[in-house]
Structure 1
Amino acid sequence: MTTSAGADAGLPPERWWWEYPVRPRWLLRGDARFEDDTPLALCAEIEGLFVDLPPRPQERFTLVGCRPETPLRAALGAVGQSTKAALRRRRISAEVYAVAADGSASQVIGAGVSGTVEAAEPSRLGAGLLDVTVDSEPREPLPTGVLGILEHWYAGRPAEKNLWAGYDRGLRHHWAGVALARRSGEPDRPAGTTYQLDGRFVTDIEGFYCAIGEAINGPGGYFGWNLDALDDCLRGRFGARTPFRLVWHDSAVAREHLVAGYDRRRLSPAITLAYLLEMLTAHEVEIDLR
């Protein structure tokens, strides 16, 4: 792989070529750690980079055993009509809330139903209930594992810690989202309080957010689910007031897993233990690694 003059001021742009009969089409820049803008390779082709995907079929929701309220009844009343006004009435957009055993409802972050009401029929679940069909815009569905997470909150806050420990990274993220939606909003404990973080399952950044949430606010507790949210929590009103002391048990687990590199799930540089410690220290958190 050879190149001509660089792109400094007054020089022509770089030119790339090689001695093989097939022409190079692609240049990769970066390095093994995705830190520097240096050449990695010239390639003739990159299979899998450009793919014509089949069009996604129109998605459909069915609201099973549904008791329509006034707005949805209006949409159902316009089914079968083709005027522009009727089509507008048939359009719905709603966030989804989970109803707990005590009748309270909390938002399921990332869950929504939006689209055009197409049909309704009596539901087998009870007289007066309907099964309503909604043709929806394509959207990424939530994993079914979220249903299991919501079950842990159905009767109230979880009574024990680390129920999230067996989940993969994606579901740990959803666990923290449910914890956010269900947080109690109790006042901050006084500055100078000591909190105990169980680090046995901090094998990824999502596990850290789950663990520190429970260290600060008990089983099912929330204390951030991304760096911006963690920064907000460290400023108060989320259960703890700085300065405080954080005893991080089994910190060797995080030291092994929260290392430099590229996070393919988040599509960004990995968040390291060193970065978290620096961030916590900047907010006057005294950290005791054990």
Structure 2
Amino acid sequence: MTQGKNYALTSEEDENDFWGFAQDARGFFSPLGEEGWRQVEFVGSAPQGGLLASLDHVGGRRAVAGNAYLDVLDAEGVSMGSYFVNDVTVISVRPSPSGADLVDVTMRLWCDEAMPGSGWVWELIRTGRLTRTGLWHELDAAGRRAWLAVALWSHRYQRRGKSDAPAGTVFTMDGRHIVDEDSFYCALGEAINGPGGYFGWNLDAVDDCLRGRWGATPPFTLEWQHSTDARTRLALLLEIFEERGIEVILK
């Protein structure tokens, strides 16, 4: 984890009610707790606004700061992606070893969008190390789902300033690591949008991507290399793709 302003909280009710930056949001990408709650430590922070007002009321109703957006920031402080978090409630606060006048705030919040294991993928993007395809190849099923989630939430950031490829473009997809539907979408996203790229994580999402501003303009061609092992398992998916104007060439 790099030191600095890596996360930010802003009230959902008022975008001018900024709650502060933090060096880490420890626990945010951990498995869900009881009934979907997470316990998150906002490390190295200087709370402001509604969060600051809640610090003196731990254990009471006013410890609930409310709903917010948690932004994952790049090295320049630009939001790479944002998560909606419900019922942010301060549990404890203590001086932070991260620096003078900083505190570590432990909060309880609810968020079903933050996939366990996503933190390291965000760190790849933040530190500029997401520079080659295939970094998802060794992940298990849960890891691939987390990878796709970050690819989705970071899509606008990663494609800022880029135009969609024109209709008729031929994209090449390496099929050697496609073992299930999620790995297909990991490979598809990278074939169209490069390392960490996204182009859907289910068929409904692919339909959305085909409407534009997601990297490719239909109709286009997908050249699927090394397709032998996976083509039988994903035969229905291939039929549906072709119905959507995607010509799939199996090699």
Shorter-chain TM-score: what band?
0.7 to 0.9
Q: 1:204-255 CA deviation, whole Å, 9 max, x = no partner?
A: 1111111111111111111011221111112322111111111000111312
Match of 1:218 among 191, 194, 197: 194
Contact 2:90/2:108 (<8 A) preserved: yes
Identity %: 42
What residue in structure 1 maps to residue 95 of structure 2?
Answer: 122
Secondary structure, aligned partner of 1:166: coil
Match of 1:93 among 67, 81, 84: 67
- Report deviation, 1:148: 2.1
Aligned-residue RMSD, C-alpha: 2.8
- Going from structure 1 to structure 2, the CA distance change for 1:179 and 1:77 (only over 3 Å counts) comes to same
What residue in structure 2 maps to residue 149 of structure 1?
Answer: 121
Contact 1:120/1:132 (<8 A) preserved: yes
Q: 1:17-64 CA deviation, whole Å, 9 max, x = no partner?
A: xxxxxxxxxxxxxxxxxxxxxxxxxxxxxxxxxxxxxx88x8643322
Match of 2:212 among 228, 236, 241: 236
In the alignment, the residues of structure 2 paired with residue 215 and residue 246 of structure 1 have an alpha-carbon distance, to the nearest angstrom, of 9
Normalising by the residue count of structure 1, what TM-score does the alignment of the two structures yield? 0.65
- Going from structure 1 to structure 2, the CA distance change for 1:190 and 1:157 (only over 3 Å counts) comes to farther
Contact 1:92/1:117 (<8 A) preserved: no
In the alignment, the residues of structure 2 paired with residue 239 and residue 100 of structure 1 have an alpha-carbon distance, to the nearest angstrom, of 22
Secondary structure, aligned partner of 2:195: coil
Residue 278 in 1 paired to residue 239 in 2?
yes
In the alignment, the residues of structure 2 paired with residue 219 and residue 90 of structure 1 have an alpha-carbon distance, to the nearest angstrom, of 39
What residue in structure 1 maps to residue 135 of structure 2?
Answer: 163
Secondary structure, aligned partner of 2:118: helix
Amino acid at match of 2:185: Y
- Report deviation, 1:121: 1.8
- Report deviation, 1:152: 1.6
In the alignment, the residues of structure 2 paired with residue 250 and residue 160 of structure 1 have an alpha-carbon distance, to the nearest angstrom, of 19
Residue 247 in 1 paired to residue 223 in 2?
yes
In the alignment, the residues of structure 2 paired with residue 282 and residue 239 of structure 1 have an alpha-carbon distance, to the nearest angstrom, of 19
What residue in structure 1 maps to residue 54 of structure 2?
Answer: 75
Residue 61 in 1 paired to residue 40 in 2?
yes
Amino acid at match of 1:207: S
In the alignment, the residues of structure 1 paired with residue 231 and residue 165 of structure 2 have an alpha-carbon distance, to the nearest angstrom, of 28
In the alignment, the residues of structure 2 paired with residue 140 and residue 187 of structure 1 have an alpha-carbon distance, to the nearest angstrom, of 27
Secondary structure, aligned partner of 1:65: strand
In the alignment, the residues of structure 1 paired with residue 230 and residue 144 of structure 2 have an alpha-carbon distance, to the nearest angstrom, of 16
- Report deviation, 1:137: 6.2
- Going from structure 1 to structure 2, the CA distance change for 1:96 and 1:241 (only over 3 Å counts) comes to same
Secondary structure, aligned partner of 2:151: helix
What residue in structure 1 maps to residue 184 of structure 2?
Answer: 208
In the alignment, the residues of structure 2 paired with residue 193 and residue 137 of structure 1 have an alpha-carbon distance, to the nearest angstrom, of 42
Amino acid at match of 1:282: E
| Runs of 5+ consecutive residues of structure 2 not aligned to the other structure | 1-33
In the alignment, the residues of structure 2 paired with residue 138 and residue 156 of structure 1 have an alpha-carbon distance, to the nearest angstrom, of 27
- Report deviation, 1:182: 1.8
Contact 2:64/2:87 (<8 A) preserved: no
In the alignment, the residues of structure 1 paired with residue 174 and residue 68 of structure 2 have an alpha-carbon distance, to the nearest angstrom, of 38
Contact 2:86/2:111 (<8 A) preserved: no
In the alignment of these two chains, the number of paired residues is: 214
Structure with greater contact order relative to length (CA < 8 Å, sep ≥ 6): 2
What residue in structure 2 maps to residue 194 of structure 1?
Answer: 170
Amino acid at match of 2:48: E
What residue in structure 1 maps to residue 145 of structure 2?
Answer: 173
**Largest Rg, 1 or 2:** 1
Secondary structure, aligned partner of 1:175: helix
- Going from structure 1 to structure 2, the CA distance change for 1:67 and 1:165 (only over 3 Å counts) comes to same
Contact 2:115/2:149 (<8 A) preserved: no
| Runs of 5+ consecutive residues of structure 1 not aligned to the other structure | 1-54, 259-272
